Amino acid sequence: MKLWKAFGVVWMAVMGVAAAHADGPKSEDFAKGIRLETPGAAPVYRLALPDDVYRTATRDDLGDIRVFNAGGEPTPHALIRPRPAEAAATLVDLPFFPLHGRSDGASADVFLQFRLDGDGTVIRAGRKPTAGEERVQGYLVDAGGLERSPEALILDWATPETGAASAAIEVGNDLSQWKPLVSSATLARLRYGGHSLEQRTIPLPNRRYTYLRIRWLPGGTPLRLTRVAARLSPVHRDVDRQTLELTGREAEGDAGPALHYDSGGRFPVDRATVAMNRPNSLMEGALFSRPDGETDWRVRHRGLFYRLTLDGTTLESGPIRLQSTATDRFWRLEAGEGVGGLGANPPALILEWTPHELVFLAGGGGPFTLAYGSGRAEPPDAALGSLLETLKEGGASDIAGRAAVGETVVLGGGEALHPPAPPLPWRQWALWAVLVAGVLLLGWMAWRLHREMRGGDAGAKGNRGEVR
């Protein structure tokens, strides 16, 4: 009976440990924490997820983060991917007029004649005839009629199949005074080995303009423009994007030239740029990624990477838009066949991403702590994320306050990054204990029965001896 009482006590202790284990995670279950400043008294707060969260998280889905209130209790939260701009970029053709200059390089300004209507729109641009005038030195662009700010100029021109030029962009309001806007931009159209390279876009600072002046820089070939279009900024722009430039190391044991890159975190990368560091370099290759050192590599892009200098202008391959977001930490660049090597100054890899937006309910009172990096915590209830997403769609962004990032603190430290030891198989042990106890009990009973039977036999023999 005492044996069963002891077993019952042990079983209750085991159940108590299991119940304690079933409770939600505590702040010490996470490696680090960031104090969050929540000014005002908003019911909901939001902030862009800091980079260190991506570097420390142990899960690709970022399920190992929590927000704790002042009492150490977790408060509901969700991670929301910022949506793309609601209004796509729009192309609008702009009026443009050639600015002629003399072959001796004299300024074209003194030869210009403009005719403007009542609101300042250029309706004709002319020039006085001069001797020695042989080339177009630039173009005047009327951007005053745009509905919203242009983010870039898109140009087209009539030239041979190959050509490149450098241009400067100036801005003015009265056609008499000009201020520099873009110091140098490269325009090019090239053909090489069956590949076609074009650069027709000049990014602009995001603001309104009345007049723009395109001026060809020395060293290149002036282009005869056939179209000038403005790419208008979206109505709603994305949050600020983050970038990270990585230096590669030569891979060992690969069949061909390759570089490995380590981003050091689980960033939600949607763009990548292979930056060729050597001038006049061109490489056909492939970009791969994977989350760890054991998983197979996944192809992210195959194409041409280049940095070319032509007629004093530089043309570089632009960002790669990944078909799906990559949260992989490790990246690999392989050079194609026929490439002698990656050189002494190998390409850098530039990763770009838009941080998640953390939305949390201000329950229980602040200060709040964003805890992250845990090998023990499981993802929170998915239904909560759907609820906060619904709140956001219903206007929660209008009532949500903006939280600010404070100091970083150590919570559970590096130990919290490792998963806990597997739980002891108490139930299995208890079952075996019961079985062993049963076997021992049966053995003891058999022994007692055998002993009693032997004692009975001995008594019977003694009785028989007395009868004789």
pLDDT of 420 over the 80 cut: no
Instruction: Enumerate helices (H) and strands (E) in the chain, giving the number of each.
Output: 5, 31
Mean pLDDT is highest, among 79-88, 259-268, 372-381, 441-450, for 259-268
Segment of 104-108, 247-251, 444-448 carrying the highest mean pLDDT:
247-251
Q: Could you please report the per-residue DSSP string of 133-153?
A: EEEEEEEEEE-TT-SS-EEEE
Q: What does the DSSP assignment read for 289-327?
A: EESSSSSPPEEEEEEEEEEEEETTEEEE---EEEEEEE-
Contact in structure between 141 and 167 (CB atoms under 8 Å): no
Which pLDDT score is estimated for 87? 55
Residue 382 has what pLDDT?
Answer: 56
Q: What is the number of alpha carbons within 13 Å of residue 368 lying toward its C-beta?
A: 27
Q: What's residue 381's pLDDT?
A: 67
Cis preceding-peptide flag for 129 (omega within 30 of 0): no
CA–CA dist 1, 27 (Å, integer): 44
What gap in Å lies between CA 323 and CA 327, rounded to an integer? 13
CA-nearest of 168, 163, 347, 186 to 272 is: 347
Task: Provide mean pLDDT across the span 401-415.
Answer: 89
Task: Tell me the two tokens of residue 139.
Answer: 């173009």
- Tokens linked to 460: 């019977």
- Specify whether domain 90-232 bears CATH 3.90.650.10: no
Contacts of 193 (CB under 8 A, 6+ apart): none
Q: Report the distance separating Cα 121 and Cα 104, nearest Å.
A: 31
Residue 443 scores a pLDDT above 90: no
Contact 38, 362 (CB under 8 A): yes
Residues 171-180 have a mean pLDDT of 86
Q: What is the pLDDT of residue 76?
A: 87
Q: How confident is the model at residue 392 (pLDDT cuts 50, 70, 90)?
A: low
With pLDDT > 70 as the criterion, what percentage of the chain qualifies?
71
Q: What is the pLDDT of residues 104-162, one digit of tens each?
A: 544 444 345 455 555 555 445 555 445 545 577 889 999 888 888 888 999 988 866 66
Distance separating alpha carbons of residues 340 and 356, to the nearest angstrom: 41
Question: Encoding tokens for residue 361?
Answer: 């309910």
Does residue 341 register a pLDDT over 60?
no
Is residue 140 within 8 Å of residue 99, measured between CB atoms? yes
Tell me the average pLDDT across 449-453.
Answer: 74
The helix (H) or strand (E) run that includes residue 115 is: strand 112-116
For 336, list phi and psi in degrees, rounded to 5: -75, 175
Q: Is the pTM of this model over 0.85?
A: no
| Cβ(176)–Cβ(140) below 8 Å | no
Average pLDDT of every residue of the chain: 77
DSSP β-bridge partners for residue 152: 203, 231
Tell me the CATH class for 242-353.
mainly beta
CB 64 within 8 A of CB 419: no
pLDDT of residue 8: 37
